[in-house]
Amino acid sequence: MYSIVIHGGAGNITPAIMNAEQEALHLAGLTAARDSGFEVLKQGGTAMQAVEAAIVSLEDNPLFNAGRGAVFTKKGLHEMDAALMNGSTLDAGAVAGVRNVRNPIRLAREVMLKSGHVFLSGSGAHEFALMQGLDLVHDDYFFNQDRYDQWVAIRDSDFYQLDHKGDNLKGSIPSTDHKFGTVGAVACDTRGNLAAGTSTGGMTNKRFGRIGDSPVIGAGTYANNKTCAISCTGHGEFFLRGVVAYDVSCLMEYAGLSLQEACERVVNGKLKAMGGEGGLIAVNARADDYFCFNSAGMYRAMRNSEGKESVACYG
């Protein structure tokens, strides 16, 4: 059995913030990304390849806060984070604060395979992307009127904003944004190997080189064949402090919890108690899937070789 599970961000996602057309577009984007990953698995490809294919599809879709749809920073730029982890070898690659890279998840893969390191950032990561011949694009590629308006509304303030929340952190400027963010995928392939990946533009109006949980191995992204593959989305500062993805894996490895029990314990127990909003997607080496979130909704989809499939937005 094999399966793929994806997300496009968790947060205040309710019917009240989306019209039928927006909802249909998101569901179509999620379905296309899920199916591109599923096709890889069906052809006998690896979990790593499937996760990358699904995330590239979401990065190329301006609806999601990753790659092309990345939000604006305080300086009006797009600084992206991504990570990829192989559950069979525990190899991992990650990048933070990269600009002009069309598909940060591909750069994370190259870091894993060719840099001799795990985590590269900023100008050094950019230099490495150039060396590896990755697709680079102009700032205009990332322009999106909705996200621009969202940024303009708060750029002169100290507020920063989670792409998937209807309100602002450290303040109460009402958000008009209806687009939600960060993308991720986890997969179990025909050999029972697991992989996890996450890609994001982070938070609107972020500054000082802020990095969230998404590219941090163990916080936003983690995979281990012994336990599970996890990709998180939500208020990154809490996921970092809760070491969320690794915590789920640890509960399975050391305390013997099931995939579902471990996810619930972390997301609806520990994380919620800390005040952290968001969720995660998970798969184990038997290809069981699980979605878990403590927010109103999460953009999500899954499909497995037994014919089970779903795509949804709301709680």
What are the residue numbers of the active site?
182
Q: Which is nearer to ligand ASP, 103 or 198 (CB)?
A: 198
Strand-pairing partners, residue 302, are 5, 310
Q: Is 200 in the site for ligand ASP (CB under 6 A)?
A: yes
Q: Which is nearer to ligand ASP, 41 or 80 (CB)?
A: 80
Q: Taking CB under 6 A as the criterion, which residues in 63-102 touch ligand ASP?
A: 65
Q: Are 13 and 182 in contact (CB under 8 A)?
A: no
The correct pick among 163, 177, 247, 277 for binding ligand ASP (CB under 6 A) is 163
In whole angstroms, how close is the CB of 98 to ligand ASP at the nearest point?
Answer: 14
Q: Is 3 in the site for ligand ASP (CB under 6 A)?
A: no
For residues 152 and 201, what is the distance between their CA atoms, to the nearest angstrom?
16
Q: Which is nearer to ligand ASP, 45 or 234 (CB)?
A: 234
229 Cβ neighbours under 8 A, 6+ residues apart: 47, 85, 87, 186, 187, 188, 194, 195, 196, 222, 223, 282, 283, 284
For residues 220 and 242, what is the distance between their CA atoms, to the nearest angstrom?
10
Q: At what angle do helices 20-42 and 47-59 cross, to 10 degrees?
A: 150
| Coil, helix or strand at residue 77 | coil
For residues 210 and 179, what is the distance between their CA atoms, to the nearest angstrom?
21
Q: Is 182 in the site for ligand ASP (CB under 6 A)?
A: yes
Stretch near ligand ASP under the rule CB under 6 A, chosen from 84-92, 132-140, 160-168, 169-177: 160-168
Stretch near ligand ASP under the rule CB under 6 A, chosen from 161-169, 249-257, 285-293, 294-302: 161-169
In whole angstroms, how close is the CB of 133 to ligand ASP at the nearest point?
Answer: 28
Greatest alpha-carbon pair distance for the chain in Å reads: 52
Q: Is 197 in the site for ligand ASP (CB under 6 A)?
A: no
Query: Minimal CA–CA distance to 34: which of 4, 12, 75, 59?
Result: 4
Q: Which residues of 152-161 are buried (b: 16+ CB within 10 A; e: fewer)?
A: ebbbeeebbb
Q: Which is nearer to ligand ASP, 227 or 231 (CB)?
A: 231
76 Cβ neighbours under 8 A, 6+ residues apart: 151, 155
In whole angstroms, how close is the CB of 182 to ligand ASP at the nearest point?
Answer: 3
Q: Taking CB under 6 A as the criterion, which residues in 202-261 touch ligand ASP?
A: 202-203, 212-214, 220, 233-234, 236
97, two tokens: 């604060």
Q: Is 181 in the site for ligand ASP (CB under 6 A)?
A: yes
Stretch near ligand ASP under the rule CB under 6 A, chosen from 28-36, 196-204, 262-270, 285-293: 196-204
In whole angstroms, how close is the CB of 203 to ligand ASP at the nearest point?
Answer: 6
Q: Which is nearer to ligand ASP, 45 or 181 (CB)?
A: 181
Give the interface with ligand ASP as residue ranges (CB under 6 A). 9, 65, 162-164, 181-182, 200, 202-203, 212-214, 220, 233-234, 236
